[in-house]
């Protein structure tokens, strides 16, 4: 006698062949707070970046919403968020600030998530983002030069002059008076101040772009949204292995030699190059001290205080460590000790 067939049982929740609920179904089962946070994470990037940028003090964090959106969702969500934030900046601050926002913030928000997904190392991510930013600056200058019928150098000089005029007008009367007195006072002081500002502006902007990209990448790695960065091999220990290419030491030495032994325009150009390259070595020096802090198990607020002391008070120390690490390899020596 054959046995009667048993009725099919319902699949258990742990049954591997049971269908997985859809994303919308999982969202409906979540608590109201989780639903609110999910909606906030999708909506906030469409206006938070512009708000941070226009706040002034928190402008350094303005690329961060794009980075979080880029590594969690990406695609057209990121393009839409960039478009809405750019429109907010344009209609509230004008075309000049809008262009600066696109070149400094928008380029980081678009390029860096792509490089992260392609599993580049942190130093490669920051360097390639910085190169893209300055390529966009060069393209913009050439376009304006064609529209105005002048050479790119003349257009660049006009842009820097207008930037100085905006900076000069934004200062208070007392601050403006103190700065003019430091240059000797009178109309001659204004022209000298303008010349010094225009000479140092490219290097300052280059360092600013480099630090903003590095800082936002570091914050993003610490936040690690949806644990995505762990899956692509990025964590704080990887940041501590930051190392510039060995060949970078030669343009650094050559630019400083030109600054020391020449005058005029070549010296001014090489001074800006030297500052940017030393900023890159400063980031390597901070990575070396991060390795030391990890070895000595220094964590939490005390580590943040030590980083602040290194950057604001003892800046020559990380610069020196980063530059001479090419020969001495400080991290291996500290690990051995």
CA distance 31 to 164: 53
Residue that has been written with the tokens 């590095």 in this structure: 214
Q: How confident is the model at residue 159, as a pLDDT? A: 82
Each residue of 66-107: pLDDT tens digit? Answer: 999 998 887 888 999 999 999 999 999 888 889 889 999 999
> Is 30 inside a domain boundary?
no
Band of the pLDDT at 222, cuts 50, 70, 90? Answer: confident
User: Is it the case that residue 112 has pLDDT exceeding 70?
Assistant: yes
Q: If pLDDT is split at 50, 70 and 90, which confidence band does 127 have? A: very high
Task: Answer with the one of 167, 193, 222 that is the final residue of a domain.
Answer: 222
Burial of 210 per CB tally in 10 Å (0-12, 13-18, 19+): buried
Task: Supply the mean pLDDT for the chain.
Answer: 84
Answer yes or no: do 166 and 308 share one domain.
no
Helix axes 186-223, 107-117, angle to 10 degrees: 30
Q: 24 lies in a domain?
A: no
Domain count, the chain: 2
Q: For position 1, what pLDDT does the model report?
A: 44
- At residue 15, the pLDDT reads 47
Q: What is the pLDDT of residues 132-143, one digit of tens each?
A: 999 999 999 999
The token pair at 275 is 């500052």
- Reading the block at residue 274, the tokens are 């030297």
**244 within a domain of the structure (yes/no):** yes
Examine residue 26 and state whether it is found in any structural domain, yes or no. no
Same domain, 297 and 246: yes
Same domain, 286 and 200: no
Average pLDDT rounded to a whole number, residues 162-190: 76
pLDDT at 23: 53
Q: Do 166 and 91 fall within a single domain?
A: yes
Q: How far apart are CA 284 and CA 252, in angstroms?
A: 14
Q: 155, 190, 222 — which closes off a domain?
A: 222
Question: Which residues 6+ apart lie within 8 Å of 121 measured at CB?
Answer: 238
For the chain, give the percent of residues with pLDDT over 70: 86
92 falls within a domain: yes
Asked if the model's pLDDT at residue 171 lies above 60, the reply is yes
Sign of CA dihedral 333, 297, 64, 94: negative
- As a whole number, mean pLDDT of residues 291-297 equals 86
Model pLDDT for residues 265-288, shown as the tens digit of each residue: 899 999 999 999 999 999 999 999
Residue 248 belongs to a domain: yes
The answer to whether residue 146 sits within a structural domain is yes
% the chain with pLDDT above 90 = 45
Domain presence at residue 4: no
**Whole-prediction pTM:** 0.83
Residue 296 and residue 198 share a domain: no
CA distance 83 to 337: 52
Question: Domain range for residue 113?
Answer: 45-51+60-222
The answer on 246 and 104 residing in a single domain is no
Q: Examine the domain organization and report whether 113 and 169 are in the same domain.
A: yes
């Amino acid at each position: 006698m054959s046995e009667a067939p048993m009725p099919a049982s319902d699949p258990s929740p742990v049954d591997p062949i049971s269908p997985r609920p859809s994303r919308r179904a999982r969202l409906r089962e979540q608590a109201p707070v989780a639903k609110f946070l999910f909606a906030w994470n999708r909506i906030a990037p469409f206006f938070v970046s512009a708000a941070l940028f226009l706040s002034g003090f928190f402008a350094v964090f303005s690329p961060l919403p794009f980075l979080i959106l880029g590594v969690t969702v990406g695609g057209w969500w990121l393009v839409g968020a960039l478009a809405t934030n750019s429109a907010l900046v344009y209609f509230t601050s004008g075309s000049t600030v809008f262009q600066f926002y696109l070149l400094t913030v928008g380029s980081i928000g678009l390029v860096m998530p792509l490089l992260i997904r392609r599993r580049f190392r942190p130093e490669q991510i920051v360097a390639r983002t910085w190169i893209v930013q300055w390529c966009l600056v060069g393209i913009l200058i050439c376009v304006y030069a064609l529209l105005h019928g002048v050479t790119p150098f003349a257009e660049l000089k006009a842009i820097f002059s207008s930037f100085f005029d905006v900076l000069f007008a934004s200062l208070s009367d007392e601050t403006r008076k103190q700065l003019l007195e430091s240059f000797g006072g009178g109309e001659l002081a204004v022209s000298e101040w303008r010349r010094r500002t225009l000479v140092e502006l490219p290097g300052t902007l280059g360092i600013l772009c480099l630090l903003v990209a590095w800082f936002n990448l570091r914050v993003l790695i610490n936040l690690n949204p949806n644990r995505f960065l762990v899956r692509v091999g990025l964590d704080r220990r990887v940041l501590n292995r930051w190392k510039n290419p060995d060949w970078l030491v030669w343009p650094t030495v050559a630019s400083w030699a030109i600054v020391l032994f020449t005058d005029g325009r070549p010296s001014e150009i090489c001074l800006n190059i030297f500052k940017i390259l030393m900023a890159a070595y400063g980031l390597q020096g901070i990575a070396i001290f991060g390795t030391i802090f990890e070895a000595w198990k220094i964590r939490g607020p005390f580590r943040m205080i030590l980083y602040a002391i290194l950057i604001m008070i003892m800046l020559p120390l990380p610069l020196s460590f980063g530059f001479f690490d090419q020969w001495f390899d400080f991290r291996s020596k500290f690990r051995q000790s």
